[in-house]
Amino acid sequence: MKVLVSDNLADSGIEKLMSVPEFEVEVNTSLTKEEFQQIIKEYDALVIRSATKVTADVIEAADNLKVIARAGIGLDNVDIEAASKRGIVVMNTPEGNVITTAEHTIAMMLSLSRNIPQATQSLKVGKWEKKRFRGKEVFNKVLGIIGVGRIGRVVADRAKGLKMHVIAYDPYISTEVIDKMGIEGVALDELFARSDYITVHTPMTQETRNILNAEAFAKMKKGVFILNCARGGIVNEDDLLKAIESGIVAGAAMDVFVVEPPKDHPLLALDQVIATPHLGASTDEAQENVATAVADQVIDYLLRGTIRNAVNAPNIDGAVLARLRPYLTLAEKLGSLLAQITRGAIQEIAIEYVGEVTKEDTQPLTISILKGLLTPILGDMVNFVNVPVMVKERNIKVTESMRTEAEDFTTLINVSIKTSEERNLVAGTIFGKKDPRIVRINDFRMESAMEGNLLLIYNIDTPGTIGAIGTCLGRNKINISMMDVGQVLERGQNIIFLQTDSVVPKEVVQELLAMENVNVVQTVKL
């Protein structure tokens, strides 16, 4: 079997792959796009980091490819949907670089406080500028952490060692779990108002994109320091620039950028900004961890068929997988829909399987529902293997029940959720042999394939409202490709589902919300 390593991988991983007699391993990190597309058809496995772009064209040409394995977490460089369509397993290694990235954040925070990069630069050109580079202690200061998952909680632990007061905002982690970390859970606005340093450790999702923007900077203490060692775009770069120029933000440390490399980005011209070229995970130890993990995973899959850390396939036999595929798609969709329409920290999930589906092994379906549920919150970090652990870590109670007697549909999957703020229920079925359909959201019944960019609008049922919504979207150049309206007469309420050709921006959502008779507007991506 042929394995191509097309990005820099630590030697330990390459040696491990080369030690397998059945493997022929090629390491080539300088392929052009054309060369890559031409040779990929020879390979059974592709091992990458973030530099190789595995586009739909590459996947189309990859006749023998069985697995794409990422040493690290981020899969923004892989067209996962195209890979899934061709039955190629996509896997990553989400655990290996947690400590390294947390340590980088602490290093950035101290460098920022003591102007270490700027002072080094100045000294190297022969200057001795003691006065210019007077810094600040972190002792007794408030560190606000947005997102206390794997990396955020290690940052919290290390910052406590520096005797900082740590406060955190993470709406998907229960107060008890945050309390156990020995830090203080707060609302986002409180974090903005109290922090001397703010660091983000969330994945990039619809919700976290631009979470630190002009509106957020306006709520912060004058002189706050900002750190982003997570993903470019969680901090809005233009707004950060203005906040530094206006003096609200005293300085920023950036490891990640919207466009990487950022080239001559104006932020980099500011004295108050220190930056590293996406080095968060770049230590010998982390690179060894992810390289050996990725090699072990590729070996396990190609030699034994065991799938670990796959983002697009549960660990089940191929024939069963083919039969369950429509149910798995439906299950993941139900979980994802629930996550996107529900606010608050998840406490309980109740899953009910009804009718035909009860003849199948429902365990992979439950895992798919949970993966669908956590992916909008955690992004690429969630896979079919680690999702049960993540659910456990978050203290989420999962219950399953079966009913063989179906009523309206031959198969039905009901999923309900209870969070710290609300309860919701969604249900779905399979039309024909393979078409997943959402048939219920709370009290509203419908039959919808629900795909792509969706808008869910709850409105008072009055003449003209639907027209006004269409006009507003049209004015903002958003094309509607599908519309479905559910009506609950006794409540005088409509639920409108709109499928749009493009994502509906936040400002347009606000515009819709300001309309008379419109109560709730939610954007969903399925």
Ligand X SMILES: O=C(O)CC[C@@H](O)C(=O)O
Chain centroid, CA 459 distance in Å:
30
Q: Which of 260, 285, 451, 516 is catalytic?
A: 260
Amino acid making up residue 416: S
SS3 call for 318: helix
Rule CB under 6 A: say whether 100 interacts with ligand X. Answer: no
Determine the Cα–Cα distance for residues 96 and 419; give it in Å rounded to an integer.
Answer: 31
Q: Which does 112 bind (CB under 5 to 8 A by kind): ligand NAD, ligand X, none?
A: none
Pick the closer one to ligand X by CB: 240 or 291.
Answer: 291
Rule CB under 6 A: say whether 227 interacts with ligand X. Answer: no
Chain centroid, CA 188 distance in Å:
19
Q: Which of 104, 153, 158, 278 is catalytic?
A: 278
Q: Which does 229 bind (CB under 5 to 8 A by kind): ligand NAD, ligand X, none?
A: ligand NAD
Q: Which does 255 bind (CB under 5 to 8 A by kind): ligand NAD, ligand X, none?
A: ligand NAD
Q: Which of 23, 25, 47, 50 binds ligand X (CB under 6 A)?
A: 50
The least distance separating ligand NAD from the CB of residue 199, rounded to whole angstroms, comes to 10
SS3 call for 81: helix
Determine the Cα–Cα distance for residues 316 and 172; give it in Å rounded to an integer.
Answer: 29
Rule CB under 6 A: say whether 203 interacts with ligand X. Answer: no
Q: Which of 62, 73, 244, 377 binds ligand X (CB under 6 A)?
A: 73
Task: Report the relative pairing of strands 346-355 and 411-419 from DSSP bridges.
Answer: antiparallel
The residues in 281-340 that bind ligand X, with binding defined as CB under 6 A, are: 281-282
Pick the closer one to ligand NAD by CB: 278 or 308.
Answer: 278
- Contact map string, positions 249 to 278, toward ligand X, x by CB under 6 A: -----------------------------x
The least distance separating ligand X from the CB of residue 308, rounded to whole angstroms, comes to 16
Determine the Cα–Cα distance for residues 190 and 195; give it in Å rounded to an integer.
Answer: 8
SS3 call for 482: strand
Please give the torsion angle defined by the CA atoms of residues 321, 387, 420 and 221, in that order, rounded to the nearest 10 degrees. Answer: -130
Partner residues linked to 251 by β-bridges: 225
Let me know if 491 is a catalytic residue: no
Could you list the beta-strand ranges (E) of 255-291: 273-275
DSSP 8-state assignment for residue 480: E
Number of residues that bind ligand X (CB under 6 A): 10
Rule CB under 6 A: say whether 201 interacts with ligand X. Answer: no
- Widest CA span in the chain: 83
Pick the closer one to ligand X by CB: 66 or 70.
Answer: 70
φ, ψ dihedrals at 92, nearest 5°: -135, 180
Strand order in the sheet with 45-48: 24-27, 2-5, 45-48, 67-70, 89-91
The least distance separating ligand X from the CB of residue 72, rounded to whole angstroms, comes to 3
List residues near ligand NAD by CB under 6 A.
73-74, 97-98, 101, 146-152, 169-173, 201-205, 207-208, 229-231, 255-256, 278, 280-281, 377-378, 381
Retrieve residue 398's tokens.
């999962």
DSSP 8-state assignment for residue 54: B
Determine the Cα–Cα distance for residues 194 and 140; give it in Å rounded to an integer.
Answer: 13
The least distance separating ligand NAD from the CB of residue 22, rounded to whole angstroms, comes to 32
The least distance separating ligand X from the CB of residue 94, rounded to whole angstroms, comes to 8
Amino acid making up residue 273: V
The least distance separating ligand X from the CB of residue 369, rounded to whole angstroms, comes to 25
The least distance separating ligand NAD from the CB of residue 57, rounded to whole angstroms, comes to 25
Rule CB under 6 A: say whether 72 interacts with ligand X. Answer: yes
Let me know if 231 is a catalytic residue: yes
Pick the closer one to ligand NAD by CB: 137 or 260.
Answer: 260
Q: Which of 49, 201, 231, 394 is catalytic?
A: 231
Strand order in the sheet with 518-525: 480-488, 493-500, 453-460, 518-525
User: CB within 8 A of 43, min separation 6: which ones?
Assistant: 2, 3, 4, 26, 62, 64, 65
Pick the closer one to ligand X by CB: 72 or 364.
Answer: 72
Q: Among positive and negative, which fits the CA dihedral 208, 211, 212, 213?
A: positive
Q: Which does 172 bind (CB under 5 to 8 A by kind): ligand NAD, ligand X, none?
A: ligand NAD
Let me know if 22 is a catalytic residue: no
Rule CB under 6 A: say whether 97 interacts with ligand X. Answer: yes
Determine the Cα–Cα distance for residues 42 and 60; give it in Å rounded to an integer.
Answer: 13
Pick the closer one to ligand X by CB: 71 or 328.
Answer: 71
Pick the closer one to ligand X by CB: 154 or 166.
Answer: 154
Determine the Cα–Cα distance for residues 524 and 28; give it in Å rounded to an integer.
Answer: 40
Q: Which does 308 bind (CB under 5 to 8 A by kind): ligand X, ligand NAD, none?
A: none
The least distance separating ligand X from the CB of residue 46, rounded to whole angstroms, comes to 15
Per CB under 6 A, the segment of 220-228, 279-287, 485-493, 506-514 that binds ligand X is 279-287
The residues of the shown chain that bind ligand X, judged by CB under 6 A, are 49-50, 72-74, 97, 278, 280-282
Catalytic residues: 231, 260, 278
